[in-house]
Amino acid sequence: MMNDMPESLAIAGAWGYIGRKFLDAAVRRQIPTTVYDPASAPGDVAFDRFARARDEGEFYRLPADLFHLATHPEHRHTGQRILLDRAQRETVSVLNEKPMALPESPDACAQIVAQTTAGSALMLYDFPELYDPLTHRILDRLRSYRDVRLTEFTVCRAKDREAPDKPRNYKRMVPIQYQESVHCLAFVLFVLGNVHGGVGAVLDDGIRIRATSDPYAPPNPDAYAHPVDGRCRFAVELGSVHIDGLTDFKRGAEFTKRRTLRGVGDGRPLCIEVDYLEGHKRLCFDGVEQTVDAREDSYESVLRTFVRLRRTVKRGELMSGVYPNPAFARITYQLSAALWRASHQREEVRLADEAALLGFDAAYTGDVWSQRRISAKA
């Protein structure tokens, strides 16, 4: 039987929250792993279970089966450049983190798409829910109908990211629209894109976005040059499909990753409910609870699904179809940008189609909350 995991893994940023999740998954599955992270290592790391690269140069020369870039966008430049240069000569597999670029650097997204298209890189982005077996069960359910029309999504992704007693909360973040709402938007696009045969077909009936946001109150404010959004409520129309969303990092927020889909299948109402919360996963079709292994690890699922896609889908299709590839990640980034702009200009953002979305510039400015305070005083 073929191994369902990468033959070897190289993780940049292994001491961060996501990097550590994948490192722990690799150690559990006994995947030969090398890490690079110049930051101080946590005290509970089992150093005898993996190797450490001495520097970036050594790390990015590794013959790893899969590289995971678990770093902030501003720290990925060197790694992306070296790996994409290697991809001009050989196939390189990369699992990249979101957001695709810094909020103030939207042009970087188009550059990454162009670079990955030109070489032999196989780069997918880490939207864990898109790799989860629950999502593929949802798609199988929708494909079981002769005629299906989705009309409404309710999406909620929340956790307390302000409590000072949680070490995770001291990790610096970007505005929640790029940090967390992007996961909800990616889920909606992925499902609708599979139903309609492409993401363009989802967007070309028009996009309307309304949203409000509240500032994040981090336990370590000195780590931030300016306040960022910590909660966002939004309503999005993709053609005739309505999406209600909440992403919440504020103090006391419920810890959840809920999704609800409603529509009509073969002339009858349909309702699918799912929760991707680690350790509490749930799936319900039309009021009937489905058997779920609530303990299934999302990060192992990402690695397993990456390997399966690489084996079963031709690279050209994987890098252009409805998969979490750079072109897909760029669209989610642009939707996040439009969501941020709608939150702060306090009026609806309207875009005609996919081309208009890709050309949209949120004109992101990081000190918007300071500007609001100044405006209020004036």
Tens of pLDDT along 292-346? 987 789 999 999 999 999 999 999 999 999 999 999 999 999 999 999 999 998 8
User: Does pLDDT of 129 surpass 50?
Assistant: yes
User: Does pLDDT of 371 surpass 80?
Assistant: no
Q: How high is the pLDDT of residue 377?
A: 43
Q: How high is the pLDDT of residue 75?
A: 87
Give me the residue label for tokens 């969501």: 339
Q: Collapsing DSSP states into helix, strand and coil, what is residue 92? A: strand
Helix H or strand E encompassing 127:
none
pTM over 0.85? The answer is yes
Distance from C-alpha of 62 to C-alpha of 191, rounded to nearest angstrom: 35
Mean pLDDT of 267-275: 98
Distance from C-alpha of 96 to C-alpha of 69, rounded to nearest angstrom: 5
Using pLDDT thresholds of 50, 70 and 90, give the confidence band for residue 278: very high
Mean pLDDT of 59-67: 97
- Name which residue leads in pLDDT, 73 or 212: 212
User: Does pLDDT of 1 surpass 80?
Assistant: no
Q: How high is the pLDDT of residue 43?
A: 86
Q: How high is the pLDDT of residue 228?
A: 95
The dihedral sign for the CA sequence 159, 164, 169, 174 = positive
CB 149 within 8 A of CB 41: no
Q: What is the CA angle 204-341-153, rounded to 5? A: 50
Distance from C-alpha of 237 to C-alpha of 205, rounded to nearest angstrom: 10
Q: How high is the pLDDT of residue 372?
A: 62
User: Does pLDDT of 374 surpass 50?
Assistant: no
User: Does pLDDT of 378 surpass 60?
Assistant: no
**Measuring CA to CA, how many Å separate 57 from each of 60, 123, 161?**
6, 20, 34
CB 213 within 8 A of CB 232: yes
Using pLDDT thresholds of 50, 70 and 90, give the confidence band for residue 375: very low
Q: How high is the pLDDT of residue 2?
A: 55
Of 199, 179, 197, give the one whose Cα is nearest residue 188. 199
Q: How high is the pLDDT of residue 74?
A: 85
Mean pLDDT, the chain, integer: 94
